[in-house]
Amino acid sequence: MDSKIFITRIIPDPGLVLIREHFLPDIWTSDLPPSRGELIAHSHGVDGLLCLLTEKIDGELMDSIGSQLKVISSMSVGVDHIDVAAATARGIPVGNTPGVLTDATADQALALMLSAARRIPEAERFLRAGKWVTWQPSLLLGADFTGSTLGIVGFGRIGQAVARRAQGFDLRVIYHDPSAQPVYGAQPVDMDTLLGESDFVSIHVPLTEKTRHLVNSEFLAKMKSNAVLVNTARGGVLDQTGLYQALKCNRIFAAALDVTDPEPLPMDSPLLELENCIIVPHLGSASKKTRDLMSLLAAQNLISGLKGERLPHCVNPEVYR
Ligand code: DGY
């Protein structure tokens, strides 16, 4: 097939090898994303675009690519970087990579909960600074995890995988998600009950206009003062100014963020001054197996779209009606 393809980064081998069996793609080889101008130039005239969550794919870009564009495939489950409505309006299917990163992301949420509760990064900084002089009864005391109450905001695949893991820690799990059925012993509650009763609050909603800054000063004010907030969803779900204020005055015990807004987080962000805030660079899906599977799914979506077949994982199936 002589379709034209642009891939916006070197993706793991399983996907790349599969694509190269069928096509000769143009691949952006820098570690940094293409600039807007570079994205426009390289994607002009392509039949298929494979992108990451670092690229903004809007209607203007789709039009500049041209009406021959058959598929947009993102190597991510989240598609908030793509104007899906604009793609649908142009009849372009958009593919994503659900399922394969559920476990890795749920593992990361648990790792962050435990790290924040037991102050692991702070303790390691303490040790490396040469401050460990003896065992002390009150040194770096953290929060109890086992037996506590976990509130899950957004009870889709990843939220449910977190609930499943919580059973092993004897957590009481409550969740807020009007569209989800209870599983793994989790109990549905309204948002105020969740915030008022949870020792750990874990965010698992996609970023949409409705969820932008869902976690704001008002939300944080309703949380318990011993509570830990964990965000492995999207940075835009959280108002970082409100979070800084809540952490600075110990309104809540700690926060652990896998995602920020913007990404990367500027090094002058006040959040970086705080001992009770853990921040890691968007690593929820960062295991070798998971990234291999994500690249494979992204490649399968791309190839199906180019062949005019239904994408295995399509976020806008209405294009097929
Ligand atoms: C995704 O795929 O949306 C994740 O955020 C990547 O880790």
Q: Domains along the chain?
A: 5-99+288-320 (3.40.50.720), 102-279 (3.40.50.720)
CA 8 to ligand 1 center in whole angstroms:
16
| Cα distance between residue 13 and residue 11, in whole Å | 6
Atom from ligand 1 closest to the CA of residue 74: 2
Q: Do residues 254 and 224 lie in contact, with contact meaning Cβ atoms separated by under 8 Å?
A: no
Using a 6 Å cutoff on CB, does residue 77 contact ligand 1?
A: yes
Using a 6 Å cutoff on CB, does residue 74 contact ligand 1?
A: no
Using a 6 Å cutoff on CB, does residue 34 contact ligand 1?
A: no
Name the DSSP letter for residue 314.
B
Q: Do residues 206 and 80 lie in contact, with contact meaning Cβ atoms separated by under 8 Å?
A: yes
CA 275 to ligand 1 center in whole angstroms:
26
Strand ranges across the sheet with 149-153: 187-188, 172-176, 149-153, 200-203, 228-231, 254-257, 277-279
Give the DSSP H or E segment for 188: strand 187-188
List alpha helices for the chain, DSSP H. 13-22, 36-43, 59-65, 84-89, 102-117, 120-128, 157-166, 191-197, 217-221, 240-248, 288-306
Please report how the helices 13-22 and 288-306 are oriented relative to each other, as an axis angle in degrees rounded to 10.
Answer: 20
Half-sphere exposure of 283 (CA within 13 A, CB side): 12
Using a 6 Å cutoff on CB, does residue 316 contact ligand 1?
A: no
- Please report, in tens digits, the pLDDT of each residue of the chain (321 residues total): 689 999 999 999 999 999 999 899 999 999 999 999 999 999 999 999 999 999 999 999 999 999 999 999 999 999 999 999 999 999 999 999 999 999 999 999 999 999 999 999 999 999 999 999 999 999 999 999 999 999 999 999 999 999 999 999 999 999 999 999 999 999 999 999 999 999 999 999 999 999 999 999 999 999 999 999 999 999 999 999 999 999 999 999 999 999 999 999 999 999 999 999 999 999 999 999 999 999 999 999 999 999 999 999 999 999 998
Which token pair is 5?
């393809």
Q: Which residues are catalytic?
A: 234, 263, 282
CA 290 to ligand 1 center in whole angstroms:
11
Closest-CA residue, ligand 1 atom 7, reads 285
Using a 6 Å cutoff on CB, does residue 285 contact ligand 1?
A: yes
Q: Do residues 79 and 58 lie in contact, with contact meaning Cβ atoms separated by under 8 Å?
A: no
Using a 6 Å cutoff on CB, does residue 236 contact ligand 1?
A: no
Please report how the helices 157-166 and 102-117 are oriented relative to each other, as an axis angle in degrees rounded to 10.
Answer: 50
Distinct helix (H) and strand (E) counts, the chain: 11, 12
What pLDDT, on a 0 to 100 scale, did the predictor assign at position 146?
98
What pLDDT, on a 0 to 100 scale, did the predictor assign at position 1?
64
What pLDDT, on a 0 to 100 scale, did the predictor assign at position 318?
98
